[in-house]
Each structure stands twice: as C-alpha cells, then as structure tokens.
C-alpha cells in the first residue's frame, strides 16, 4: 500500500507535478503570459504554481493541459512515469 502524503505544496510529488507542467508549457513554446491569457487569468497565477507557491486541483491541471494542447491522460501518464523514475510511485 502506498504511503499517504500530506497536502502541502512542499511535497516532493507536488514538485514533480510542477516540473511536468512547466516542461509541458516550455515544450509547447508558450510563455507564462500567453498561458495565463489562454486560461483567462494573469501571469502571476502561472508563476505561483510553477514556483510551487500555489497548489492546483485536478480541474486546474486539466485546464492547463487543454490550454497547452496537451492530452490530459497523456500528461498524467507522463507525470506517473516521472514519479516512477524518481522512486515516488
């Protein structure tokens, strides 16, 4: 059975999620400003979650994937693979 982790933005698993989201944005060639515009928010929203200062929920992650043109299930599979590689699954 996997360990239950606390809900903190400082959790290593959350940092992997943030890194995956940042990587997806960069791979899409999109700036924080452009992504924020597509999401209908401001650049500080993107900056705060990319610096792990703001915790995202699953709906927000799905919206970010959509704005980047990244299939949500593909993104989650990639995230899970990164966790496995780091021994965090």
Residue 76: which CATH number? 1.10.260.40
The answer to the question of residue 18 being in a domain is yes
Question: Is residue 1 situated within a structural domain?
Answer: no
Domain that holds residue 38: 12-85
Give the Cα separation of 28 and 33 in Å (integer): 13
* Prediction pTM value: 0.87
Domain count, the chain: 1
Task: Judge residue 62's burial from the number of C-beta atoms within 10 Å of its C-beta, 0-12 exposed, 13-18 middle, 19 or more buried.
Answer: middle
Q: Confidence band (pLDDT; 50, 70, 90) for 8?
A: low
Note the pLDDT tens digit of each residue in 10-36. Answer: 789 999 999 999 999 999 999 999 999
- Give counts: helices (H), strands (E), the chain: 5, 0
The alpha carbon of 15 is separated from its chain's Cα centroid by a whole number of angstroms, namely: 9
Question: Residue 4 domain-assigned?
Answer: no
Interval 26-78: pLDDT, tens: 999 999 999 999 999 999 999 999 999 999 999 999 999 999 999 999 999 99
16 within a domain of the structure (yes/no): yes
Is 53 domain-assigned? yes
Tell me the Ramachandran region of residue 69: left when phi exceeds 0, alpha when psi lies from -120 to 50, beta otherwise.
left
Q: Is residue 2 part of a domain?
A: no
């Amino acid at each position: 059975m996997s360990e239950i982790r606390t809900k903190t933005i400082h959790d290593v698993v959350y940092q992997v999620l943030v890194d995956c989201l940042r990587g997806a944005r960069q791979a899409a060639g999109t700036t924080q400003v452009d992504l924020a515009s597509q999401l209908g928010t401001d650049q500080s929203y993107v900056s705060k979650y990319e610096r792990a200062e703001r915790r995202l929920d699953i709906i927000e992650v799905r919206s970010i994937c959509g704005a980047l043109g990244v299939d949500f299930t593909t993104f989650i599979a990639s995230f899970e693979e990164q966790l496995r590689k780091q021994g965090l699954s």
